[in-house]
Amino acid sequence: MPTRRVTGIIGCVMKLRVSPALLPMVSLACVLASCPGAERRPRGRDVPPTPEELVWAKVLFEQPDGDHGDVALAVDQNGNLSMAGRMWTAAAGSSLFISRTPLAGEAPWSKVAFAEDWGPWVDLALGRDGGLVLAASFLGATRLGSDDVGAIGRWQMLLIRFRAADGMPLWQRTFVLAASRVRPFVAVDSHDRIFVAGHFDGRIDLTTEPLTADPEGDLFAAVFLPDGQQIWAGQLGGPGVQGLAGAAVDGSDRLVLAGWFDGSFDLFGSSLTGPGERSAFTAVLSPEGKPIWSRVLDSEHRAEATGLALAADGDVLVTGTHRGTVSTGARTAPAGGDETRCFVACYAPDGRPRWLRSFGGAGEVACESIAVDRRRGVLVAGRFQSTAMFGATRLRSRGPWSLFAARLDTHTGAPLWALALGDSTPGRARSEDYGTDRLVVLPDGNLLITADFAGGFPTGRGRWYSGGNPFALLIKLRP
């Protein structure tokens, strides 16, 4: 990594005179630790005063041009933060990092693994003992435990469990992919069973007979025992393009999925259809994979889910984008013009639609992340062009794109506040250079967001500018 790129958290580690070869392993442990400037108060806001406030924004690492990766977050009830994702450096290329920053007692730890390449999508879940379960895809061979896994020149999906205290791998499993990388999601139920789902192309070696996708790709779902032994695996999808936006396990250990499809979709024997070009779906399955209920968000043009969250009372919340009027059947949101808009839909535990909201502006408004704070409401984050309207609050972008965060009323979806973040680089208008990955709520109510951004960004003291390629950021907001 060139010297002029050493900034933010990486720069903080350099002050500690850590060997550059160990930067990926150490830098992320500084995120919530005692590096200089960890808690800096902001000097101003980009919109009129709101009930929340930027605490800080941290630069994690530079993103490779045109090939960005998610940074996954998981936080337990004690506020211990875990992160994982694919990072890139000029010297080492693509690598996978995973880190844990405990807030009480234990020493933080971090790990890094190298391979020919890592897929851009990673997901994390917490076990009942606080241990971490990670799902990712990689090319070639890698090592996170005592032995190498994988094979040169082959893409594989990795499922691995780490001990919470020190990050020791307890077990790992790999599944050969015939085509390329997958986008996996992982969740853990009350019996510590592990639920993995995602999109795949070609073939995936999950069962005795590999699952084979249609030409446009398919989705898979599988459940594993706490020791990594597989219980079942299955395939779902349709003849058109489809994708998965999230997977979770509710309080009754039911499996919850959100995604989208073109035309029609087979959900383990239950057929879904949509009237538009593309439709968003939400589905709940039994622990054995049997459909319990499913809902399609109808759109006259297209609707695509991008995020999923569960409320403490069992409500299911889905966010995404749409063009044209959208409807849950019981609730309808108007089109508001031809621009891409953001939707948030809430379903009761039995699948009844509770409410549906749509937010738009003068340009594209895309909700990408969602979380639920049982005390303060529903949180959404994403990106927008030009302006975005959340009730009476108008957000304005200072460049081609800006990020936003907003809080909605849990019972009605009415917007409570919204905030614009960042000034994107003039002339760098590619949407893939901007966006939010994950959003979590800490036990004290503060919010953490991981995002990609190119341009200027408030850090709590002054502004940070990326210059060239976009960087991965960790943003902390006060409720």
What's the mean pLDDT in 400-407? Answer: 90
Condensed to tens digits (0 to 9), the pLDDT of residues 181-192 reads 788 999 999 999
pLDDT of residue 19: 37
With beta carbons less than 8 A apart as the criterion, state whether 88 and 110 touch: no
pLDDT at 466 over 80: no
The pLDDT-based confidence of 431 (bands split at 50, 70, 90) is low
Give the Cα separation of 420 and 400 in Å (integer): 13
7 has a pLDDT exceeding 70? no
Q: Answer whether 381's CB lies under 8 Å from 449's CB.
A: yes
What confidence tens digit (pLDDT) does each residue in 386-397 have?
999 999 999 998
Query: What is the structure's pLDDT at 177?
Result: 85
Beta strands 109-114 and 183-188 are: unpaired
Contact 355, 412 (CB under 8 A): yes
Is 9 a residue whose pLDDT tops 50?
A: no
Distance CA 190, CA 250 (A): 9
Q: Flag whether pLDDT at 123 surpasses 50.
A: yes
pLDDT given for residue 432 in this prediction: 64
pLDDT confidence of 427, banded at 50, 70, 90? low
pLDDT band at 40 (very low <50, low <70, confident <90, very high): very low
Residues 95-116: what's their mean pLDDT? 85
* Highest mean pLDDT (candidates 129-138, 336-345, 457-466): 129-138
State the average pLDDT for the chain.
Answer: 82
Q: Give how far the C-alpha of residue 245 lies from the chain's centroid of Cα atoms, to the nearest Å.
A: 8
pLDDT band at 105 (very low <50, low <70, confident <90, very high): low
Spatial distance between the Cα atoms of 281 and 287, rounded to a whole number of angstroms: 19
pLDDT higher than 80, residue 428: no
| Distance (Å, whole) CA 109 – CA 188 | 22
d(CA 341, CA 339): 6
Question: Over the stretch 170-221, which tens digit does the pLDDT of each residue have?
Answer: 999 999 887 667 889 999 999 999 999 999 888 888 877 788 888 888 899 9
pLDDT value of residue 62: 77
CB atoms within 10 A of CB 392: 7
